[in-house]
Amino acid sequence: MPSDPLWYKDAVIYELHVRGFYDADGNGTGEFRGLTLKLDYLADLGVSAIWLLPFYPSPLRDDGYDISDYTNIHPAYGALDDFKMFLEEAHRRGLRVITELVLNHTSDQHPWFQEARSSRNNARRDWYVWSDLIERYKKARIIFTDTELSNWAWDPVSKSHYWHRFFSHQPDLNYDNPAVFEAVWGVMKFWLDLGVDGLRLDAVPYLVEREGTACENLPETHEVLKRLRRRVDEHFSEKMLLAEANQWPKDVRQYFGVGDECHMAFHFPLMPRMFMAIKLEDRKPIVDILRNTPEIPDVCQWGIFLRNHDELTLEMVTDEERDYMYDEFAPEKRAQLNLGIRRRLAPLMEGDRRRIELMNGLLMSMPGSPILYYGDEIGMGDNIYLGDRNGVRTPMQWSGGWNAGFSSADPEQLYSPIISNPVYGYQAINVESQRRYDHSLLSWMKRLIRLRKSTRVFGRGTMEILTPQNHRVLAYLRELGSERILMVCNLSSQAQAAELDLRRWKGSVPIEMFGSNLFPPIGDLPYLLTLGPYQFYWFRLRRL
Amino acid sequence: MAEISTVSEDFLRQLTAVGEVGILVGVPTFNNRDTIERVVSAIQVGLTKYFHRERCVLINPDGGSTDGTPEIFKNVSVQDFGMLLTASPLRTFHRVTAPYHGIPGKERALRSLFTAADLLRAKACAIFPPDSLSITPEWVDSLIRPVYREGFDLVSPAYQRRKFDGLLVRGLVSPMIGALYGRRLHEPVGSELGLSGRLACQFLQKDIWEQEMTTFGLEIWMATTAIVDDFRLCESFLGPKIQAAKQFGQDVAGTVRQVVGALFHCLDLHENFWKKREGSEALPLFGFQYNVALEPLRFNRRGILDTFRSHVEQLVPILESILTPQTLVEVRNVAQLADREFHYPDELWVRTIYEFAAAHHRAVINRNHLLQALPPLYRGWVSSFILENQKADAARVDQRIEALSREFERLKPYLVDRWDAGRGGER
């Protein structure tokens, strides 16, 4: 794999769960051997990195985010050797691998917690946060509002309360204890030594608690992350840390430090605003959030996404915006979960190919590294009748055959039912059928990713938002060195005209990137473009 | 469909950029720099608070202001919606300024707005004057919601009036429209208005835009046309209407001529409708009605009365052409009454107005001359009304107005008779 310390800045990341990708041994659950067999598909799709959801031993009460052994593989997904083989094969194809590091909490089944709860005098007692009173940290909000009433849970074994920001079966680690820091560093080193390229740091804002605060984004938390980063830099090169901090950009900005904390962080507030903009048919939500996004160090990068394994989170929106999103995207109450919407991209776009393309076009051209969620490249649907977020975690649909080509097991044996409704069912939506023709969503996505990767402008360039009078049209310019790319997007369901002030680039010729067609050169007059419903253009501006 | 040629290229360009909207709000201006900022802010907050999901445009047809009004209009911005207890807007707040050339006037401004409503396919529109001192964000909701949510086509304002405020409207225009058109509309000359996009389009198609309409005439024409064309009307309570202080008598003659002239003009236009219409009904009234203490209007009753007495005698030769002999005699008798006994009976007042309307229709004399003869008689009725209700409270005055309205309704057959009487017929 070519060496590049900033590889994550140009990456197109593909997020998947081993369990749901491909079942090679026919027991109904995907595993590393199956995933390895599908690496050619991912290489062909054009992505450059794979982000694996948790695959560690776990009671699986939170889809693997409740880890009971940090340095092993859940037996259902194979053995450590299977992982090593997968990693080697991925690297051989030029694919980097990002794994999960859940460092805020463990499962209550983890031996650390079992020891800690065994007695108040246990040596690991202080690895977690305990209290006889539940009055502590009252200002900390409850995150899983649908299931949890308090951030404290009663432990009947040691007859005390333990602190948890997520489910009550996920006790928070105590980072005030230096031993915890060293243990977590040991876990990181284990995976990085194996060759993992990046670690997604789960729920980083909540590492440290302090009385009288919201217990989020505390300076002490940043200090923990900086120390971990120093350790990584001392021992490794070309490794990446990705922060999951569902916060406002100004708060997330802190997780980059001065380039000495995390390399990447998700840009959560941008995501719902892309959905909002396309429904409102108005660029305002996107423009507002981008204008309120601070600059980040050159060596850092935003992680941007449309959908992921969780609900479409609406924490970073106003109450009015959240109501609007629910009414427009989740009128069926069942589609709502916590403060979000548990649906995939295609159903959210009502299966409208034009809107799906526009959303992906926005994703691939915004500042940051795009993250695709498995199955969205073929327009997979969801199942809101499954509990929690399982409706967006159903098996990958490879073909129209037995179990969607995912597994040879009996259908009853599958870890999750396959999507089988007439619109999004595997007979209609699958990889095999979409490989057959050039105009399928899958083929189009390949072209889009190829274009994205054809230049570093998207990953590293500056962004300037243009302001055509027509607010249904979003236009922006990405620039890196002498390279300029102009994006013009019609957010509306109707054809639109827009006049762009491009006089600064007078004499340049816009070359439409998908077809390499030359458009009329830019002159003194406003540059008039007409766009069909949800149409978008990417133009390379070339001075001929 | 709108005639695109009636709007300037720049206006059209701005409208093209806005595209289809749900709500269009218009604020016609002409040198209103002192008040425009407050009006635009109130509208913006109102739209954000009550219609934050809708696509809205605020349009400013300007008659050529030289005091920077359009620039202020464009740049007014609400800095902190949170302090105003409302969320920030979801959508872009579109603002369009549309200068028009020629004599500044409401008809040109409204034509621009209705054209924009048609081109942008607005579902609901509202029009606000640029100099309202009492506008609040709630007015936006009051005028637009009945259209946008309840399906009405025209929302007429209802105000809390001071005791003797608006007597021309309350004692003549409103009761006459109620009696003839069958809809009891309290403020047919109100300068705030809500209307549906389809009604705006209907207005555009009418053949009146090249005619000279007066400042007050357009509202009466719109209200009566909406009734005749069977659109759904309602009223919305806006609270007290605060205008720049003015004393009775300041160009009252001009106002009476314009307002009543417009009303008489509409009677001609809608003759086939109102003659067949019987009875009247109240309109649905939206909004929570409340009263605040308002400073009473001041009148120079002595001056009003003296003007009436002197003008009646001077105008006898003209009044002989307009009024029946009996009515003229009675009017002259009223003018002779001593101050303490002075009384212009409702029945006589209604007959006076109806005979003026019929004479106007038959053009017994030059219509301008005819309308000039009315203000003195109006002063007589005002004087009588004030004397009679000097000690009454505002509610009692409202009851008196209701009684007068019934009189207009009762005597409607008399108007029909006079209307159809030949030019040389019985007097």
Kindly list the structural domains of chain A, giving each domain's residue range(s) and its CATH number in brackets, ordered by start: 111-163 (3.90.400.10), 462-543 (2.60.40.1180)
CA–CA min distance A261, chain B (Å): 34
CA–CA min distance A395, chain B (Å): 37
Which residues of chain B have a CB within 8 Å of the CB of A319? 87
Which residues between 65 and 124 in chain B have a beta carbon less than 8 angstroms from any beta carbon of chain A? Answer: 87-92, 94
What percentage of chain B reaches a pLDDT higher than 70?
93
Q: How many angstroms separate the CA atoms of A423 and A380, rounded?
A: 10
* Residue B11 identity: F
Which residues between 324 and 343 in chain A have a beta carbon less than 8 angstroms from any beta carbon of chain B? Answer: 324
List B98's β-bridge partners, or say none.
Answer: B61
Out of B87, B91, B94, the one facing A318 most closely (by C-beta) is B87
What H or E segment, with its residue span, contains residue B397?
Answer: helix B394-410
- At B4 the pLDDT is 56
Out of A282, A468, A496, the one facing B91 most closely (by C-beta) is A282
B77-135 pLDDT, tens digit per residue, is 887 777 766 777 899 999 999 888 767 778 889 999 999 999 999 999 999 999 888 89
Concatenated DSSP letters of B353-386: HHHHHHHHHHTSS-HHHHHHTHHHHHHHHHHHHH
Contact A471/B at CB under 8 A: yes
A53-79 pLDDT, tens digit per residue, is 999 999 999 989 999 999 999 999 999
Between chains, do B19 and A472 touch, taking CB under 8 Å as contact?
yes
Looking at residues B271-283, what average pLDDT do you find? 95
- pLDDT at A206 > cutoff 50: yes
Q: In what order do the strands lie in the sheet with A152-155?
A: A130-131, A160-163, A152-155
| Residue A327 burial (CB count, 10 A) | 11
Between chains, do B55 and A497 touch, taking CB under 8 Å as contact?
no
Contact A276/B at CB under 8 A: yes
Q: How many angstroms separate the CA atoms of A475 and A465, rounded?
A: 6
Q: In degrees, to the nearest 5, what angle opens at C-alpha B359 toward C-alphas B357 and B365? A: 130
ipTM: 0.75
Nearest chain B residue to A493 by CA distance is B20
What H or E segment, with its residue span, contains residue A371?
Answer: strand A369-373
What percentage of chain B reaches a pLDDT higher than 90?
71
Nearest residue to B334 via CA among B358, B359, B313: B313
- At B422 the pLDDT is 62
Residue B164: pLDDT band (50, 70, 90) is confident
Nearest chain B residue to A498 by CA distance is B17
List B58's β-bridge partners, or say none.
Answer: B25, B95
CA–CA min distance B43, chain A (Å): 19
Nearest chain B residue to A276 by CA distance is B90
Between chains, do B91 and A280 touch, taking CB under 8 Å as contact?
yes
Q: How many angstroms separate the CA atoms of B53 and B81, rounded?
A: 15
Nearest chain B residue to A320 by CA distance is B87
> How many pairs of residues across A and B have Cβ atoms under 8 Å apart?
46
CA–CA min distance B17, chain A (Å): 4
Out of B17, B53, B90, the one facing A470 most closely (by C-beta) is B17
Q: Which stretch of A7-21, B55-69, B291-305 has the lowest confidence by average pLDDT?
A: B291-305
Looking at residues B140-169, what average pLDDT do you find? 94
| Residue B191 burial (CB count, 10 A) | 19
Between chains, do A276 and B53 touch, taking CB under 8 Å as contact?
no
Q: Which domains does chain B have, with CATH numbers?
A: 7-286 (3.90.550.10), 301-420 (no CATH)
Here the tokens at position A456 are 């570093």
Chain B contact probe: residue of A278, A284, A314 with most B CBs at under 10 A? A284
Average model confidence (pLDDT) for chain A? Answer: 96
CA–CA min distance B126, chain A (Å): 22
Q: What is the 3-state secondary structure (H, E, C) of chain B?
A: CCCHHHCCHHHHHHHHHHCCCCEEEECCECCCCCCHHHHHHHHHHHHHHHCCCCCEEEEEEECCCCCCHHHHHHHCCCCCCHHHCCCCCCCCCEEEEEECCCCCCHHHHHHHHHHHHHHCCCCEEEECCCCCCCCCHHHHHHHHHHHHCCCCCEEEEEEECCCCCCHHHHHHHHHHHHHHHCEECCCCCCCCEEEEHHHHHHHHHCCCCCCCCCCCHHHHHHHHHHHHCCCCEEEEEEEECCCCCCCCCCCHHHHHHHHHHHHHHHHHHCHHHHCCCCCCEECCEECCCCCCCCCCCCCCHHHHHHHHHHHHHHHHHHHHHHCCHHHHHHHHHHHHCCHHHCCCCHHHHHHHHHHHHHHHHHCCCCHHHHHHCHHHHHHHHHHHHHHHCCCCCHHHHHHHHHHHHHHHHHCHHHHHHHHHCCCCCCC
* Residue A528 identity: L
Average model confidence (pLDDT) for chain B? Answer: 90
Nearest residue to B419 via CA among B269, B268, B277: B268
Chain A contact probe: residue of B52, B58, B92, B97 with most A CBs at under 10 A? B92
B226-273 pLDDT, tens digit per residue, is 999 999 999 999 998 776 545 445 578 888 999 999 999 999 999 999
Higher pLDDT, A144 or B283: B283
If phi > 0 it is left, if psi is from -120 to 50 it is alpha, else beta; for residue B196 that is beta
Out of B17, B19, B90, the one facing A324 most closely (by C-beta) is B90
Between chains, do A318 and B94 touch, taking CB under 8 Å as contact?
no
Active site residue A244: yes
Between chains, do B92 and A276 touch, taking CB under 8 Å as contact?
no
A405-461 pLDDT, tens digit per residue, is 999 999 999 999 999 999 999 999 999 999 999 999 999 999 999 999 999 999 999
Residue B181: pLDDT band (50, 70, 90) is very high
Catalytic residue, chosen from A82, A172, A244, A376, is: A244
Classify the C-alpha dihedral B350-B351-B356-B361 as positive or negative.
positive
Enter the pTM of the model. 0.86
- pLDDT at A113 > cutoff 70: yes
Contact A34/B at CB under 8 A: no
Q: How many angstroms separate the CA atoms of B366 and A111, rounded?
A: 105
CA–CA min distance B91, chain A (Å): 6
Out of B19, B53, B55, the one facing A470 most closely (by C-beta) is B19
Between chains, do A284 and B90 touch, taking CB under 8 Å as contact?
yes
Q: How many angstroms separate the CA atoms of B427 and B416, rounded?
A: 15
Write the CA distances from B7 to A120, A537, B18, B110, B124, integer angstroms.
82, 32, 15, 12, 20
Nearest residue to A494 via CA among B24, B19, B1, B12: B19
- At B247 the pLDDT is 44
B330-373 pLDDT, tens digit per residue, is 999 999 999 889 999 999 999 999 999 999 999 999 999 999 99
CA–CA min distance B90, chain A (Å): 7
Out of B14, B87, B92, the one facing A319 most closely (by C-beta) is B87
Burial of residue A400 (number of CB atoms within 10 Å: 0-12, 13-18, 19+): middle
- At A386 the pLDDT is 94
Between chains, do B90 and A496 touch, taking CB under 8 Å as contact?
no
Which residues of chain B have a CB within 8 Å of the CB of A276? 90
List A312's β-bridge partners, or say none.
Answer: A341
Between chains, do B14 and A282 touch, taking CB under 8 Å as contact?
no
Whether residue A129 contacts residue A163, with contact meaning beta carbons closer than 8 Å, is answered with yes
Out of A284, A324, A470, the one facing B53 most closely (by C-beta) is A324
- pLDDT at B379 > cutoff 90: yes
Q: How many angstroms separate the CA atoms of A178 and A183, rounded?
A: 9
Nearest residue to B73 via CA among B111, B120, B33: B33
Nearest residue to A10 via CA among A484, A451, A378, A465: A451
Looking at residues A282-302, what average pLDDT do you find? 96
